[in-house]
């Protein structure tokens, strides 16, 4: 099938013929693994491994850990898992060549200008990066999100931009804004009359999920914060080239320098599962501190394991076990409403809503429409 092309902008690394062919191969390889091979894991469980478990124990498994104990010993699952891991390693390899070859030019393009779109970039060279980001390379991205190797570096952003698109097989949309558009779509359903004047995107990375908020509310001040300076330099230059006004700053979302009650909406997109238990509590508390009375919090993240059968939870936790997403499984079983209340949110202020993929992106004939992504919603003072 043809390779979906992401939107071009001045900072996007240009792949050579061979690099483009490799990236296209890996994108299709991942599609085949996800569409055609991964479903066979469920068949292996239903036809072979599951019945053997029931025969030995006289019952169905009660936890995903029990499923893991037996499934990870099955050679068919092992082969798929090895290919899945290899596809992720190849993905980064295929884009790093393009980035390294063009890095001096990308750094030059990203140098501060008069910011035609009106956005801004504020960096803090003294900011300490949380250990949960430095302990390992999340998603196997070399250097993880916070890597910063040279003056004016943008490599982490360029690798994240192109690598993330290949990783997702294109279903995150040509602007890589799937999480932002989906979270925003739910926001408009829940709060149709809301017109926020100040919006904060926590853990914004290169701002791909921040852009939809700035585009939807062009008169609002939209801020994105993250710890990675190279990510933020890239994100700022990317947003300016796309004509979208966003104010980026390098901060730890657990404790920002914004004043109390200074935002109408505080949002995030796949942030929480890449932190840790302590950070989740602090982020919920910080979100509440930053919101005005009646302000809205919307933290978009991965599906909850508590809503799944043990075998499905096991299969969905592959990345937590294999590609340095260590906290992902823990977050997906946490009582996040309860955690928010412990962090200062009041009874009746927080609840979970399901955000449908919006739009339901298609990759060839494969519809990547994941339904009911859970969003922790908070309204300061109640609805």
Q: What is the mean pLDDT of the chain?
A: 93
The pair of three-digit structure tokens given for residue 41, joined into one six-digit string? 């894991």
Tens-digit pLDDT profile for residues 187-200: 999 999 999 999 99
Find the mean pLDDT for residues 82-104.
95
- pLDDT at residue number 362: 56
pTM above 0.85, yes or no: yes
For the domain made up of 1-383, the CATH class stated in words is alpha beta
pLDDT band at 3 (very low <50, low <70, confident <90, very high): low
Find the mean pLDDT for residues 96-106.
95
pLDDT band at 89 (very low <50, low <70, confident <90, very high): very high
- pLDDT at residue number 159: 96
- pLDDT at residue number 12: 93
Query: In whole angstroms, how far apart are CA 334 and each of 29, 67, 254, 271, 325?
Result: 33, 20, 18, 15, 16
DSSP conformation class of 348: T
Percent of the chain with pLDDT over 70: 96
First to last CA, the chain: 47
The least confident of 6-10, 15-19, 268-272, 344-348 is 6-10
Beta-sheet pairing, 366-367 with 362-363: antiparallel
Find the mean pLDDT for residues 260-275.
97
Find the mean pLDDT for residues 144-152.
93
- pLDDT at residue number 1: 44
Is the pLDDT higher at 171 or at 73? 73
Find residue 379's DSSP bridge partners: 296
H/E stretch holding 297: strand 291-300
pLDDT at 366 over 50: no
CA distance 44 to 50: 8
- pLDDT at residue number 35: 86
Domain boundaries in the chain?
1-383
- pLDDT at residue number 113: 75
Find the mean pLDDT for residues 223-237.
97
pLDDT at 334 over 70: yes
Find the mean pLDDT for residues 252-268.
98
- pLDDT at residue number 7: 82
- Return contacts of 19-24, CB within 8 angstroms, 24+ apart: 19/94, 19/95, 19/97, 19/98, 22/90, 22/94, 23/94, 23/95, 23/162, 23/166
């Amino acid at each position: 099938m043809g390779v979906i092309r992401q939107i071009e902008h001045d900072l996007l690394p240009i792949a050579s013929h061979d690099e483009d062919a490799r990236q296209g191969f890996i994108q299709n390889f991942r599609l085949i693994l996800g569409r055609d091979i991964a479903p066979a894991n469920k068949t292996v469980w239903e036809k072979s491994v599951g019945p053997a478990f029931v025969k030995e124990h006289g019952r169905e498994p009660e936890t995903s850990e029990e499923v893991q104990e037996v499934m990870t010993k099955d050679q068919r699952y092992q082969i798929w898992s090895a290919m899945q891991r290899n596809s992720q390693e190849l993905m980064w390899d295929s884009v790093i060549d393009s980035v390294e070859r063009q890095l001096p030019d990308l750094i030059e393009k990203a140098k501060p200008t008069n910011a035609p779109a009106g956005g801004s970039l504020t960096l803090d060279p003294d900011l300490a990066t949380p250990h949960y980001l430095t302990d390992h390379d999340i998603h196997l991205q070399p250097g993880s999100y916070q890597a910063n190797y040279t003056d004016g570096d943008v490599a982490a952003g360029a690798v994240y931009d192109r690598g993330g698109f290949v990783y997702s097989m294109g279903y995150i949309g040509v602007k890589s804004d799937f999480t932002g558009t989906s979270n925003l779509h739910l926001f408009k359903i829940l709060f149709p009359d809301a017109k926020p004047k100040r919006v904060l995107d926590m853990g914004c990375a290169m701002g791909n999920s921040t852009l939809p908020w700035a585009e939807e509310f062009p008169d609002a001040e939209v801020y994105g914060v993250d710890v990675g300076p190279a990510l933020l330099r890239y994100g700022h230059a990317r947003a300016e080239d796309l004509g979208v006004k966003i104010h980026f700053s390098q901060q730890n979302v657990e404790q920002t320098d914004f004043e109390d009650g200074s935002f109408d909406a505080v949002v995030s997109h796949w942030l929480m599962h890449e932190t840790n238990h302590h950070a989740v509590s602090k982020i919920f508390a910080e979100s509440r501190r930053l919101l005005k009375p009646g302000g809205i919090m919307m933290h978009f993240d991965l599906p909850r394991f508590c809503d799944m059968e043990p075998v499905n939870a096991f299969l969905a936790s592959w990345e937590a076990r294999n590609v340095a997403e260590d906290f992902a499984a823990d977050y997906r079983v946490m009582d996040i409403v309860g955690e928010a209340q412990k962090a200062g949110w009041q009874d009746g202020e927080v609840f979970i809503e399901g955000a449908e993929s919006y739009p339901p992106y298609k990759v060839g004939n494969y519809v990547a429409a994941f339904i009911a992504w859970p969003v922790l919603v908070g309204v300061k003072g109640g609805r």
